[in-house]
Amino acid sequence: MGKKICVIGSSNIDQFSYVNKFPKEGETIIGESFKTGFGGKGANQAVMAGILGSDVYIISCLGNDIFAESTIDNFKKNKVNTEYIQRADVSSGVAPIWVDSRGENKIVVVPGANSEINAEEAINSIKKIKNVSYVVGQAEIPMKVNYEVFEYSKRNNILTIFNPAPGMILDDKFLDSVDWLIPNENEFEIISGLKLSKENILEFSSKIYSNLIVTLGKQGAFLVEDNKIIEFEAPSVKVADTTGAGDAFVGAFVHGMSKNLAPKESIKLAIEKASSSVQRKGTQSSYSSSSE
Ligand code: RIB
């Protein structure tokens, strides 16, 4: 089956309103259509890896509402192991999302149970899963939990991948526990404090321990290797909805790595899956064979 992947992170119910143009402040507009679906950056990354055939586990915290059971069923349908999901007596995470006619989005995440995830339980889960090769995280759960889980993983020779989304300033000690850092262009600017340019990517990369990939949407991605930028192009496609494309990239990248593909081959696979996802509406429902 390949190496074991453990994704720690958020699960949300995404609530999409498709609009022609985003409303201005104080303006009411009539939307085109509405749909709900399974989302959350952690869940999306795990589901993409599961669809591709990874041996993948999710550590996430769900609430006490009707969303929780359907979220667990959806993970199972997408071949994600749900044994280590935590529960809290609050509502599950939700994300109202607006998508305009260009496929661009605006997202509000209301974390609910995602804020209640317990670090000690997460570490115990990783111990019980045994022989985990990759731990993957993002920033929609409390960073204190990511710190503890990544520090444990690093000490135990588990490779760590961190997608700093939503963007935030990361502390240096945490960055020392990250093997692969994968921001998008906006997140790069937030975490580095620098404008996006090849020179600034190289400058930031020289100051951190981790490998660095910057995703660039329809422009593809940059990988820093041997103090040089390697460019990867994305195919030109008709965009319906960009929501979850970054998560498709991370899930497909870790899948490739877990199957012993070289990083460059894993990035090509990640771009292919992200580019495919933007051509369909929704988050996990846009990940080709997802059964949402
Ligand atoms: O990256 C897309 C995701 O961001 C959505 O699924 C939404 O839930 C938010 O977490």
Q: What does the pLDDT read at residue 158?
A: 98
Mean pLDDT rounded to a whole number for the chain: 96
241 catalytic residue (yes or no): no
C-alpha 228 to ligand 1 mean position (Å):
31
pLDDT at 1 over 90: no
Atom of ligand 1 nearest to the CA of 105: 2
C-alpha 199 to ligand 1 mean position (Å):
30
At 138, the pLDDT band (50, 70, 90 cuts) reads very high
The residue to mutate among 60, 61, 109, having the most atoms of ligand 1 within 8 angstroms of its beta carbon, is 109
C-alpha 94 to ligand 1 mean position (Å):
9
14, 179, 241, 247: the catalytic one is 247
The answer to pTM > 0.85 is yes
Q: Residue 56: CB partners within 8 Å, gap ≥ 6?
A: 4, 5, 6, 7, 46, 49, 50, 79, 80, 81, 255
